[in-house]
Amino acid sequence: MYKNEYERWLAFNLDDADLKPELESVKENDEAIKDRFAVSLQFGTAGLRGVIGAGTNRMNVYVVRQATQGLANWVKTQGGNQTVAISYDSRIKSDVFAKAAAEVLAANGIKVRIYKELMPVPALSFATRYYQCNAGIMITASHNPAKYNGYKAYGPDGCQMTDEAADVVYAEIQKTDILTGAKTMSFEEGMEQGLIEYVGQDCYEALYQAIESRSVRPGLCKTAGLKLVYSPLNGSGLVPVLRVLHDIGIEDITIVPEQEKPDGNFPTCPYPNPEIFEALRLGLELAEKSGADLMLATDPDADRVGIAVRCKDGSYELLSGNEVGVLLLDYICKARMEQGTMPKNPVMVKSIVSTPLADKVAEHYGVECRNVLTGFKWIGDQIAQLEAANEVERFIFGFEESYGYLAGSYVRDKDAIIGSMLICEMAAYYRSIGSSIKEELERIYAEYGRYLNQVDSFEFPGLSGMDKMAGIMQQLRSNPPKEIAGYKVVSVADYKTGVKTDLTNGTTETIQLPASNVLIYTLEGGASVIVRPSGTEPKIKTYFTTLGKDLQQAQQQKDALADALKPILA
């Protein structure tokens, strides 16, 4: 079957010059043909993501056109403006794929608002809402290695598409022949007919205004003298992040020169992920040379931001997404209470895999902490519920441990632009009162306990990877561990079945969240282990939360738990 499809592609008059030579090069290699054609990239709520190349299991213009035709078929049933917003980042072929999507939509009579240059995820979410679109498309593979690209689909609220809508789009994709099924017209023709328009300057300005209005200590940065090193990691963050930081008064910004310009090859780091040291190494070196107060880096689609802070001895420490999330929550709560801008019955939202330390901080300030499934769309869903009840101003902050933050309801996805602004404002404030982010983090730990949160990943590449992952999750369900590293399991929450079981007395309770393939083990003494397959990569992730009298004790417990799980997950 896959060989027939390969032959069909080989014989077809492909209009991407890179595809035919690749197909020719694997002519005698059955395994390579199988890898490209045995399956198709699956369209889900995260859209599509895959290696760039030829075939149904690769990211190319034909896969993009097919997906967009499926999306167009869905949009045509939705009424409304019949408009779709499109943005793209710096990845290889991102601009090509964005234009290909616009051409299919235009050919279907659907209006397009496309950014005239690369812009990040939050800009796409904002434009979708600003133009009251039926949907949005973001061409990105987030922080994956350079060989990947992807296609994220958004609903009319600027949130990633719901499961129901994604299922309909997927069914329409299945009906569309990948090579011949998508309608298309040239980009120029779409522009001439008024079907394709660039996003207007008014939309850019409205986005920046919406972000800057969320400053909790307006004007503070103008006099604080903050010294910053910033890296957009060769992605889409440079223009919007610098614009907002300059607007709020931060002038002393050094850009990491090797990572300044958009470049989908990401030449300085194989994995452009602000969670990992290698991506931030050049920025850290520059921070040490210049004595910066703070170093920050945004990922290629600028929805996540990682930071390194200066310690008293002049060294720099990378902070985790959980630590930054808790610091921002504490800073926003304290500042808004001091300024008298805290709303009645304030709400913050985080994912179930993010640190329980945030629950403690929220409780301290009288803020309701809502825990939702992993994926920022679930945080967006909580904002939508508040909006529907005319209470959207109650939402003050949302975060995920994977370096995603949002304050405000102007978008429905994580936003590294506002994350960068608030982190800088927080650093400037603590500097102005003779403290620092590092000292404030130690204060929080002293007050609430030394929580340690770490994530390990186990990769399962290749066509059999997903089956292996499914087998491991099934094994954990059919033979649940009674103890891990000598720590007794006191409860198991299975988000797939929606049941939490107390193993000390056998009682059960219903989990009030949608079904998800997640297992949470709570251990004697308060530690917890979470196991979940990634929704976007062939990985099983394990999230450890330990609580010790100091970091060393918390780390020892985490290491013991991780060692005990390795034989099950390897």
Contact (CB, 8 A) for 413 and 122: yes
CB 48 within 8 A of CB 56: no
Rounded CA separation 23/409 (Å): 46
Take residue 162 and report the two structure tokens written for it: 């719901």
Give the max Cα distance, the chain: 71
**Token pair of 381 as six digits:** 């869903």
Whose CA is closest to 267, among 435, 363, 146? 146
Residue in this structure with the two tokens 């369900």, named with its chain if needed:
477
Reading the block at residue 560, the tokens are 């013991």
3-state DSSP assignment of residue 177: coil
Is 402 marked active-site? Answer: no
Token output for 165: 């809508």
Rounded distance, CA 552 to CA 336, Å? 34
Question: Which residue matches tokens 């929704």?
Answer: 535
Closest CA to 228 of 303, 319, 347, 310: 310
Tokens describing residue 388: 């529907």
The identity of residue 42, as a single letter, is Q
Helical pair 238-247 and 416-432, crossing angle rounded to 10 deg: 40
Q: Which two tokens stand for residue 33?
A: 């043909």
The candidate with the shortest Cα–Cα distance to 127, out of 199, 54, 42, 60, is 199
Terminal-to-terminal C-alpha distance of the chain? 33
Active-site hit among 94, 142, 231, 351? 142
Inter-residue contact 309 to 436 (CB < 8 Å): yes
* Pair type for strands 148-154 and 111-114: unpaired
Q: How far apart are CA 67 and CA 442, in angstroms?
A: 48
The secondary element (H helix, E strand) that includes residue 488 is strand 487-494
* Residue 351 near residue 372, CB atoms below 8 Å: yes
Instruction: Classify residue 26 as left (phi > 0), alpha (psi -120 to 50) or beta.
Output: alpha
Of all helices (H) and strands (E), which one includes residue 318?
Answer: strand 316-318
Where helices occur in 274-415 by DSSP H, the ranges are 277-290, 321-339, 357-364, 376-388
Which residues are part of the catalytic machinery? 142
